[in-house]
Amino acid sequence: MSRKGSEYAGLSVAIVTPLRDGAVDYDTLGAQVEFQVEAATTCICPVGTTGESPTLTHDEHERVIAATVEAAGGRIKVMAGTGSNSTAEAIRLTKAAEAAGADASLQVAPYYNKPTQEGFYQHYRAIAGSVRIPLCVYNIPGRTAKNIEPATLIRLAKIDNVTMVKEATGSLDQASQLLAESDLTLLSGDDSLTLPLMSIGGEGVISVVGNIIPRDMIALVDAYRAGDAATAAAKHLKLFPLCRDMLGLATNPIPLKAAMMLLQRDTGEMRLPMTPLDETKMASLKQTLIDYGLL
């Protein structure tokens, strides 16, 4: 079936927010955007979980989105992270992103306050009604403490500018129901589940490891979309140890920022309560990057 949101098929990357001496490093942010443009990534997603949005001020949040749009210069899509557990705040951030020129909005499920399914529906309905850009619903109950049930997502699909779901529940049954009963584009929210989700109708991934190996992720996605399942499977099996052994060390983006520091693409700096890897885990990360061929 034809799906709305298919223009975001392929690789999207949840980019980091570079920090230097406690402040956002906009020069390095521009370099991160350029890195993704050169790799032919479909879309970048600033100020999501990987972009440490919980520790940015509201002013920083809006400035990072505007700076990302400016650096992108229309050469790559920008899906700005503008979700919140306050509907009014999410509307304000999403309106600001739209005004800055963002192409779409990534909307994490309202976290901590655990709304009912009706609350989820009304939250997204209110945001969608406040802007014209498309929304990608980000369902990650491991962080938000509550699942957006398939029936709610299928109901949301009837709203014109709710066009995508970033699926991070780990449930192929849930993803299958969503794909069978709606016209939403499904994007994997877990790097290691990209190929399994594409095998049932997903169209790509919003990736963390794409910060360091975008071309390899693109190659996997493109191989499967071209009908070459064997090549896609081989690339999945090559990528899997990196995804498991790097991202399994600590909460995202701690190991990713450490990896980018080792690759001389970021300072590795974070804001509390995020803390660096200890020596043992840093040694493990170095070995993982060596094994993959990055160091």
Q: Examine the residue annotation and report whether 4 is marked as an active-site residue of this protein.
A: no
Q: Examine the residue annotation and report whether 124 is marked as an active-site residue of this protein.
A: no
Please pick, among 121, 138, 224, 292, the residue that the annotation labels catalytic. Answer: 138
Instruction: Give me the numbers of helices (H) and strands (E) for the chain, helices first please.
Output: 12, 10
d(CA 208, CA 281): 19
d(CA 131, CA 291): 45
Residue reference for tokens 């994490």: 108
C-alpha distance from residue 166 to each of 21, 58, 170, 197, 292 (Å): 32, 23, 11, 11, 27
Please pick, among 77, 146, 166, 235, the residue that the annotation labels catalytic. Answer: 166
CB count, 10 Å around CB of 21?
Answer: 7
N- to C-terminal Cα separation, the chain: 43
Structure tokens, 10: 């392929």
Q: Tell me which residues are annotated as active site.
A: 138, 166
